């Protein structure tokens, strides 16, 4: 099965993962990476190439958050059976579109999330904040790529605006079709790095990805692999080699994400607002109408951007909505119905 395209490109395992292996394990086991998952079947890539593995019973019975996902590193014994997976460096998850409460565990061990927006029509700081929160929630470094820089006179102000959203956020304005792309993204796409792209439709994600991917690796994306019984199966991969030696994680639906359930991302992104809120007069201040609100005072004195506060409150409401249980949701709907009834009675004097 071994061929140059489908091996781990000779990049040594990162120290973060390496140090999780005992001395004994370093001799008696090997690690492989999960590069796709379809139902209970994992596609694995190791130094010997690609293989399939039916999820062992001990894992199948676990809740989804305790099962291996794309990007995980598995420790395999000498019989090629999985022992465990290594602690994750990062973990991107989202709420499944349209399915209410379900969390989808998208990818593990992504180093950089390229958040793609364009300098013109798509540019929207509130949407960018949503993506940044998602990256922070998963412990992934976000890098904002502002495409279509060639279509505006001055792309720099867009970059400054993005960088003002959160300390340390890097924004790069570029033409996605420019041959110099590899150089511009060089710091994040070195050998062994794992990256993913995220952004609205039409901003240039496919253009970027097609330029960066190793096209020969794309051709093998539906590679045939042996499953655990030696049968041949056809598997669609979710991770691809880039020309630079980095890994691209790309699954259908990966490019458009909604917020996950972790509150951590919002806390990181809006830490200044949360710090201010400590000084609000009431602990349950809604930062909208409550008197003695330190956040509103900061907006009034122009030291805090009103748009950011609005987006913070909006994303927080969304989060609350996403994480409430079915029972809490039912309760909220009932309360709302009661409120509507009361208004009707007040207004029309009848039910």
Ligand X SMILES: Nc1nc2c(ncn2[C@@H]2O[C@H](COP(=O)(O)OP(=O)(O)OP(=O)(O)O)[C@@H](O)[C@H]2O)c(=O)[nH]1
Contact residues for ligand X, defined by CB under 6 A: 147-148, 150-151, 175-177, 199, 201-207, 255
151 binds, among ligand X, Zn ion, none (CB under 5 to 8 A by kind): ligand X
Cβ-based nearer residue to ligand X, 30 or 178: 178
Query: From the list 89, 242, 295, 298, which residue makes contact with Zn ion (rule: CB under 5 A)?
Result: 295
DSSP state of 112: E
35 binds, among ligand X, Zn ion, none (CB under 5 to 8 A by kind): none
β-strands 41-46, 30-38 pairing: antiparallel
| Torsion angle defined by CA atoms of residues 301, 307, 310 and 316, in that order, rounded to the nearest 10 degrees | -120
Residue partners of 280: CB distance under 8 A and separation at least 6: 287, 290, 292, 293, 294, 295
Is 333 part of any known ligand binding site? no
159 binds, among Zn ion, ligand X, none (CB under 5 to 8 A by kind): none
**Rounded CA gap, 311 and 305, in Å?**
10
**Are 162 and 125 contacting, i.e. CB atoms less than 8 angstroms apart?**
yes
Is 159 part of any known ligand binding site? no
Is 201 part of any known ligand binding site? yes
**Are 311 and 270 contacting, i.e. CB atoms less than 8 angstroms apart?**
no
DSSP state of 75: E
293 binds, among Zn ion, ligand X, none (CB under 5 to 8 A by kind): Zn ion
Shortest gap between Cβ of 123 and ligand X (angstroms)? Answer: 13
Is 206 part of any known ligand binding site? yes
Helix (H) or strand (E) holding 224: strand 224-226
Bridge partners for 33 per DSSP: 45, 73
207 binds, among ligand X, Zn ion, none (CB under 5 to 8 A by kind): ligand X
Is 204 part of any known ligand binding site? yes
Cβ-based nearer residue to ligand X, 118 or 244: 118
287 binds, among Zn ion, ligand X, none (CB under 5 to 8 A by kind): Zn ion
Is 280 part of any known ligand binding site? yes
The candidate with the shortest Cα–Cα distance to 99, out of 332, 331, 324, 322, is: 322
Cβ-based nearer residue to ligand X, 44 or 248: 248
Stretch that binds Zn ion, among 47-55, 138-146, 169-177, 292-300 (CB under 5 A): 292-300
Cβ-based nearer residue to ligand X, 150 or 331: 150
Is 203 part of any known ligand binding site? yes
Shortest gap between Cβ of 146 and ligand X (angstroms)? Answer: 9
**Rounded CA gap, 188 and 95, in Å?**
27
- Nearest residue to ligand X by CB is 204
Q: Does the footprint of Zn ion cover residue 293 (CB under 5 A)?
A: yes
β-strands 247-249, 239-241 pairing: antiparallel
Shortest gap between Cβ of 181 and ligand X (angstroms)? Answer: 10
Query: From the list 108, 171, 213, 285, which residue makes contact with Zn ion (rule: CB under 5 A)?
Result: 285
Is 236 part of any known ligand binding site? no
Cβ-based nearer residue to Zn ion, 105 or 287: 287
79 binds, among ligand X, Zn ion, none (CB under 5 to 8 A by kind): none
Range 197-214 burial, b when 16+ CB lie within 10 A, else e: bbbbeebbbebbbebbbb
Is 349 part of any known ligand binding site? no
Is 119 part of any known ligand binding site? no
Maximum Cα interatomic distance, the chain, rounded to a whole number of Å: 80
DSSP letter string, 173-237: E--TT-TTHHHHTGGGS-TT-EEEEEE-TTSSHHHHHHHHB-HHHHHTTT-EEE-TTS-EEE---
**Are 59 and 83 contacting, i.e. CB atoms less than 8 angstroms apart?**
no
Shortest gap between Cβ of 254 and ligand X (angstroms)? Answer: 11
**Which single residue is written with the structure tokens 């292996």?**
21
Q: Which residues are annotated as part of the binding site for GTP?
A: 147-150, 199-207
Q: Which residues are annotated as part of the binding site?
A: 147-150, 199-207, 280, 285, 287, 293
- Point out which residues bind Zn ion (CB under 5 A): 280, 285, 287, 293, 295
């Amino acid at each position: 099965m071994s061929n140059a395209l489908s091996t781990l490109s000779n990049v040594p395992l990162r120290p973060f993962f390496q140090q999780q292996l005992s001395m004994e394990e370093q001799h008696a086991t090997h690690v492989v990476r999960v590069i796709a998952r379809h139902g209970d079947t994992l596609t694995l890539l190791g130094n010997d190439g690609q293989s399939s593995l039916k999820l062992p019973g001990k894992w199948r019975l676990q809740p989804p958050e305790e099962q291996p996902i794309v990007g995980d590193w598995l420790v395999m014994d000498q019989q090629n059976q999985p022992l465990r997976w290594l602690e994750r460096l990062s973990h991107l998850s989202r709420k499944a579109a349209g399915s209410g409460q379900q969390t989808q565990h998208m990818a593990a061990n992504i180093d950089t999330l390229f958040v793609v927006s364009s300098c013109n029509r798509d540019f929207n700081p509130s949407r960018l904040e949503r993506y940044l929160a998602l990256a922070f929630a998963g412990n992934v470094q976000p890098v904002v790529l502002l495409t279509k820089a060639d279509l505006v006179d001055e792309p720099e102000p867009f970059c400054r605006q993005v960088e003002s959203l959160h300390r340390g956020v890097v924004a790069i304005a570029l033409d996605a079709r420019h041959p110099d792309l590899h150089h511009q993204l060089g710091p994040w796409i070195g050998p062994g790095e794992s990256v993913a792209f995220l952004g609205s439709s039409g901003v240039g994600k496919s253009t970027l990805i097609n330029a960066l991917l190793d096209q020969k690796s794309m051709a093998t994306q539906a590679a045939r692999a042996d499953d655990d019984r030696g049968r041949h199966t056809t598997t669609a991969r979710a991770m691809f080699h880039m020309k630079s030696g980095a890994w691209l994680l790309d699954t259908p639906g990966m490019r458009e994400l909604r917020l996950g359930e972790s509150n951590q991302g919002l806390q990181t992104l809006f830490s200044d607002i949360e710090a201010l809120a400590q000084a609000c007069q009431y602990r349950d201040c809604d930062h909208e109408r409550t008197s003695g609100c330190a956040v509103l005072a900061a907006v009034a004195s122009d030291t805090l951007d009103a748009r950011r506060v609005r987006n913070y409150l909006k994303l927080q409401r969304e989060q609350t909505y996403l994480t409430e249980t079915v029972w809490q949701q039912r309760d909220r709907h009932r309360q709302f119905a009661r409120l509507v009834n009361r208004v009707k009675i007040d207004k029309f004097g009848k039910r």
